[in-house]
Amino acid sequence: MNVFRRRSTDSSGVLDADQSAPDAEAESARPARSSVTPKKTAPTPKRSEAQGHRGGHYQAPANRKAASSGGKDRDRTERNRRALAHQRGEEWALPSKDRGPVRALARDVVDARRGISEWYLIVVIPIFVLVFLHIAALQLVADCAVILVLLTVIVEGYYVGRRVERLARERYPGQSTRGVRFYAAMRGTQLRRMRVPKPRVDRGDAV
């Protein structure tokens, strides 16, 4: 029994020696740490130089006046962009009264036809001139002309508005047609070149 115990003790010592040998070799292979800080080869860059190397292109305005001027320029550019988009009839730039497929249909119907109401503003100007001349005969003519023009605008606006409403209900069921008659009639009283959004159909086109 003593012989076997002694042999086990000797073997454990041999194993411990074998395991400690690689550890010693690993410790000797590690590089020795130096506590000495290497000297700087170049001076520390300034903050402005460091920011310049980052590749950023933004430069803060020099003062409040420059910032205000830049903001005004951006606002002016945005207004011009929105105004051009409004004239082209782009949906995102339209006011609420011009948005939707029903209103777009109303504009197309009005722009595709030749209407008498379009010349309303041009006819009204000489009529007012006749009224202020204080000549009885001319005033009578002016009064008759005013009545005739108003009747023409009302009748034509009713006809166009009714047609627009009928087409809108056929093509866009479920869409609101509220106010579309008045919308079409008012567009019909404007000269074609002054209409906004600009007409996207030519006269005589089928709508």
Residue 111 lies in a domain: yes
Residue 173 lies in a domain: yes
Number of domains composing the chain: 1
Residue 40 lies in a domain: no
- Name the residue among 184, 191, 151 with its Cα closest to residue 165: 184
Its domain, for residue 187, covers 84-194
Residue in the block written with tokens 């034509």: 156
Which two structure tokens, joined as six digits, stand for 76?
């002016």
Residue 19 lies in a domain: no
Higher pLDDT, 158 or 20: 158
Which two structure tokens, joined as six digits, stand for 31?
């590089």
Other Cβ atoms closer than 10 A to 153: 19
Residues 55-93: tens digit of each pLDDT: 555 565 666 766 666 678 788 888 999 999 999 989 999
Quote the CA–CA distance of 115 and 113 in Å, as a whole number.
Answer: 6
Residue 205 lies in a domain: no
Residue 92 lies in a domain: yes
Average pLDDT score over residue span 4-30: 45
Residue 68 lies in a domain: no
Residues 144-196: tens digit of each pLDDT: 988 999 999 999 999 999 999 999 999 999 999 999 999 999 999 999 999 99
